[in-house]
Chain A
Amino acid sequence: MSELHTIQTNINGKPVEASVPGRLLLSDFIREELRLTGTHVGCEHGVCGACTILYDGLPSRSCLMLAVQADGHEIVTVEGLASNGELHPLQEAFKAKHGLQCGYCTPGFLMTLVPFLAEHPDPDEATVRDAISGNLCRCTGYQSIVDATLLAARQMREKAGAVDGSEATS
């Protein structure tokens, strides 16, 4: 029953090989075996969103996946967002707009919103609220998270040169 399965996966751009029991959750593998403790665990039944990671580029609940299912797939956790010591623009915006207080929910929001912004570079407020409807935050009341997301979207558009001058100053 406790048979181990060898997996080869890629976490935040680095190849990882490990032996895992079938019942080990991906969230626990990430936190306890890899010691990447940025991925948080709240409910373990898919409703709080704290454990959200990217699995082959798509946001997924790591508490609803098995570690063996990482075999042959690519995983990005919140630790993989910053590059060369620079925070992702969404992380910067969360900082600037107080998008977090205790921070428990934050990794899940970030891993939900990064792929969302890639698909919706210019979202309106209602679309952002809809995008985070599967993530719970007990501190902020969400307003500052929405503000941070809209700010990040604008800054990312500006960086991509897609925004005209009048909008950039608004």
Chain B
Amino acid sequence: MKPAPFEYMAPESVDAALQLKARHGAGAQWLAGGQSLIPSLNFRCLKPDYVIDLNGLRELSYIRFESGQGVRLGGMTRYHELEHSDVIRQHAPMMHDAIPYIAHDAIRSRGTLGGSLAYADPAAELPTVTTALRARYLLRSESSERWVQAEDFFVGMFQTVMQPDELLIEVEIPLPKAGAAWGFIERSRRHGDRVLMGVAATLTLQPDGTCADARLVYQNGAPAPRLAPQAAASLNGKALTDEHIVAAAKQAAYEEIDPESDVHASSAFRRQLAFELTQRALRDARERGTAAISEEGAGA
């Protein structure tokens, strides 16, 4: 099928784009990578009157490391650019590892960070990963600007707190603390297919081996990226023993997430998967954290 008619606009600055959106509101759609929007137009699930193309806005495409602060990513930064960025590899390695799970080369060459977050597919990688990394997002409209923490941004399946006149401008990922560690793991039927279940774990290991700041976030564990705060809290202040890991994984998988059943897998199977993947992600984090501590110890 083909898109219904619309008026195509290609503003040359963010300000001009925001003015257009303020004028046309929900009748206008931002066009970022188009990898979710254009299928919806082709199937005529969406029939916007206006399409505002963001692809000319080079000012929204950047990957910056700011020492003492963190990593700043422009909303129009493409997966392909993130995948090949040394800054991401070094300062957001979990994102570096997660990106190749997204679809295929031909989708990653176009799809964008801001598009993935704004689209808010519960099965997508970057909403979960940026939530685990305690990122915040900068939203701007013609008249105002605000930062929203990732965990407050997603409200349901394909739903966010964004207003129709807002544009996701930037993602800020804070610098990890000393001893910071992570694990990310997901499973789908075939590479690039819709994920069955994914988990992103972040924590810091203290020099004495106790765990702090644990966060567990689930991809496709609920209609939006789902945190498991009780399971995560149960890990803090303790050594990351296998026993604690299994207990936390059990609590998260069987009490804190709420996966759906569909043609690909039952809810029960997804919980089982979450139980297993959480353990693996936490063991990966333990390994990385232990290595980080001994490196820091050796450096001191």
Q: Chain A: residues with CB nearer than 8 A to chain B?
A: 1-3, 5, 21-23, 25, 28, 44-46, 49, 52, 55, 58-61, 63-66, 68-69, 112, 115-116, 130-131, 133-134
- Contacts A25-B42, A64-B38, A65-B34 given; indicate if A133 touches B104 (C-beta within 8 A): yes
Complex interface: chain A residues within 8 A of B31 (CB): 66
Q: Are B8 and A64 interface neighbours, CB within 8 A? A: no
Q: Are B51 and A44 interface neighbours, CB within 8 A? A: no
Which residues, 15 to 48 on B, are CB-close (under 8 Å) to A? 31, 34-35, 38-39, 41-43
Q: Are A66 and B109 interface neighbours, CB within 8 A? A: no
A137 to chain B, nearest CB (A): 14
B21 to chain A, nearest CB (A): 17
What CA separation (Å) do A97 and B54 show in the bound complex? 43
Cβ-neighbour of B5 out of A23, A55, A61, A63 (below 8 A): A23
Complex interface: chain A residues within 8 A of B103 (CB): 134
Cβ-neighbour of B8 out of A44, A61, A68 (below 8 A): A68
B105 within 8 A of A: yes
Q: Are B191 and A130 interface neighbours, CB within 8 A? A: yes
- Contacts A45-B43, A69-B55 given; indicate if A23 touches B110 (C-beta within 8 A): no
Q: Are B110 and A112 interface neighbours, CB within 8 A? A: no
Q: Are A66 and B8 interface neighbours, CB within 8 A? A: yes
Q: Are B2 and A61 interface neighbours, CB within 8 A? A: no
Q: Are A22 and B106 interface neighbours, CB within 8 A? A: no
Q: Which residue of A lies closest to B103 (CB)?
A: A134
Complex interface: chain B residues within 8 A of A63 (CB): 38, 42
Choose among A55, A60, A131 the residue with the greatest number of B CB atoms under 10 Å from its CB.
Answer: A60
What CA separation (Å) do A116 and B106 show in the bound complex? 10
B156 to chain A, nearest CB (A): 23
What CA separation (Å) do A52 and B103 show in the bound complex? 14
Q: Chain B: residues with CB nearer than 8 A to chain A?
A: 1-8, 10, 31, 34-35, 38-39, 41-43, 49, 51, 53, 55, 80, 103-107, 109-110, 190-192
B38 to chain A, nearest CB (A): 4
Q: Are B35 and A112 interface neighbours, CB within 8 A? A: no
What CA separation (Å) do A8 and B42 show in the bound complex? 24
Q: Which residue of A lies closest to B5 (CB)?
A: A1
Q: Are B109 and A60 interface neighbours, CB within 8 A? A: yes
What CA separation (Å) do A133 and B191 show in the bound complex? 7
What CA separation (Å) do A42 and B105 show in the bound complex? 18
Complex interface: chain A residues within 8 A of B38 (CB): 25, 46, 63-66
**Could you show 11 A-B contacts with beta carbons less than 8 Å apart?**
A22-B5, A23-B5, A23-B8, A45-B43, A58-B109, A60-B106, A61-B35, A66-B51, A66-B53, A68-B10, A133-B190
Cβ-neighbour of B7 out of A22, A64, A116, A131 (below 8 A): A22
Besides A23-B3, A23-B4, 9 other CB < 8 A contacts? A2-B5, A44-B42, A45-B39, A61-B106, A64-B35, A64-B38, A66-B31, A115-B105, A134-B105
Q: Are A112 and B106 interface neighbours, CB within 8 A? A: yes
Cβ-neighbour of B39 out of A46, A116, A134 (below 8 A): A46
What CA separation (Å) do A14 and B266 show in the bound complex? 52
Complex interface: chain A residues within 8 A of B43 (CB): 45
B32 to chain A, nearest CB (A): 12
Cβ-neighbour of B107 out of A3, A5, A134 (below 8 A): A134
Complex interface: chain B residues within 8 A of A134 (CB): 103-107, 192
Q: Which residue of A lies closest to B191 (CB)?
A: A133
Complex interface: chain A residues within 8 A of B80 (CB): 58
- Contacts A45-B43, A59-B106, A60-B109 given; indicate if A21 touches B5 (C-beta within 8 A): yes
Complex interface: chain A residues within 8 A of B192 (CB): 133-134
Q: Are A52 and B106 interface neighbours, CB within 8 A? A: yes
Complex interface: chain A residues within 8 A of B42 (CB): 25, 44-45, 63
Choose among A2, A21, A69 the residue with the greatest number of B CB atoms under 10 Å from its CB.
Answer: A69
Q: Are B34 and A25 interface neighbours, CB within 8 A? A: no
A20 to chain B, nearest CB (A): 9
What CA separation (Å) do A2 and B109 show in the bound complex? 29
Q: Are A65 and B110 interface neighbours, CB within 8 A? A: yes
What CA separation (Å) do A58 and B6 show in the bound complex? 27
B144 to chain A, nearest CB (A): 29
What CA separation (Å) do A52 and B107 show in the bound complex? 10
Q: Are B3 and A64 interface neighbours, CB within 8 A? A: no
What CA separation (Å) do A22 and B7 show in the bound complex? 6
